[in-house]
Chain A
């Protein structure tokens, strides 16, 4: 037993395995505007690709060649539109806010969905390089822009600001902030309830952004660690277990988590905005 432990410790000692390096973001093109750091790094490049892919995908699927006898492409587009409309928007937004906020919620869903999916396609966008035939080539790696708290926090902030703007626009300042307090609360409890409600508004911001961020981070980490087990134990025998395990995690992430997280982010955004437009009392 002790011999085995020593062997493991030795194996771990000799190899440098740092899966977290995948999430380092050194600046590739340094841009500083006053106190703002607008440098281009890996996450920014992934965001560009994601934004471009979202626009191209949505234009391709819905914007031309529509007919009364729909092609397969048009059927898929209509099914996606219908899914967003019936599952996300109509269940959570009041009818008078649907026309204003349907585009936002649908874009949010498609943008996050495609960003997440791109995160599981190995792309030659990486900080490390290797030499092949005398050429310096970036190593192929998986990285998701949504596995970065800044990206998800920015998206959550848009929802957060939109929520309160809509609440105030539809109910007035007084009416909106009064609606935060549950009906029928005795006056003596107000000093306890008001801070709680204010905190819960900010907790939404944290939970919305951290949920997406941590899900994607944990998914990528799991795949990297599974494959990294081979290098930690520096033995190919581990690959018999590690590779199938990594593939299983990969399939779970691509088949379920990617879509669910985009769906939940869009649905919660719609619920928050809908709740502000039409408070329950």
Chain B
């Protein structure tokens, strides 16, 4: 919403910051999305080939999921810092 407000009032620096924040976090989400897809895809393949390993693999799967997912939040946090501080 602040993007539209800034555009309406001609506040260009604020507009630019808002767009940069959105694009930055979006790109971070792209990377993490691909990574999480890879993890769950590999998990499905692994369990389909060797169902008896499911128990051991679940822990590794969730660890990988959380480590990958955190990447978005680094992007989000960095973006927020840049948005607030600059």
Contact = CB atoms under 8 A, between A and B. Distances in A.
Say whether A and B bind each other.
yes
Interface of A: 5-6, 8-9, 12-13, 87-88, 91, 207, 210-211, 214-215, 218, 232, 260-261, 263-264, 267-268
Interface of A is mostly: helix
B29 to A, nearest CB: 11
Given A214-B70, A214-B76, A91 B59 contact: yes
Interface residue tally on B, bucketed by range: 10 to 19
Interface stretch (B13-21, B39-47, B60-68): B60-68
A267 B70 CA distance: 15
B1 interface: yes
Nearest to A206: B74
B59 to A, nearest CB: 5
A87 B5 contact: no
Given A214-B74, A215-B69, 19 more contacts: A8-B4, A9-B8, A12-B2, A12-B4, A13-B5, A87-B58, A87-B59, A207-B74, A210-B73, A210-B74, A211-B73, A214-B70, A214-B76, A215-B73, A218-B73, A260-B65, A260-B66, A263-B66, A264-B66
B68 to A, nearest CB: 11
Contacts of B74: 207, 210, 214
B63 to A, nearest CB: 6
Nearest to A11: B1
Given A5-B4, A8-B4, A12-B5, A214 B62 contact: no
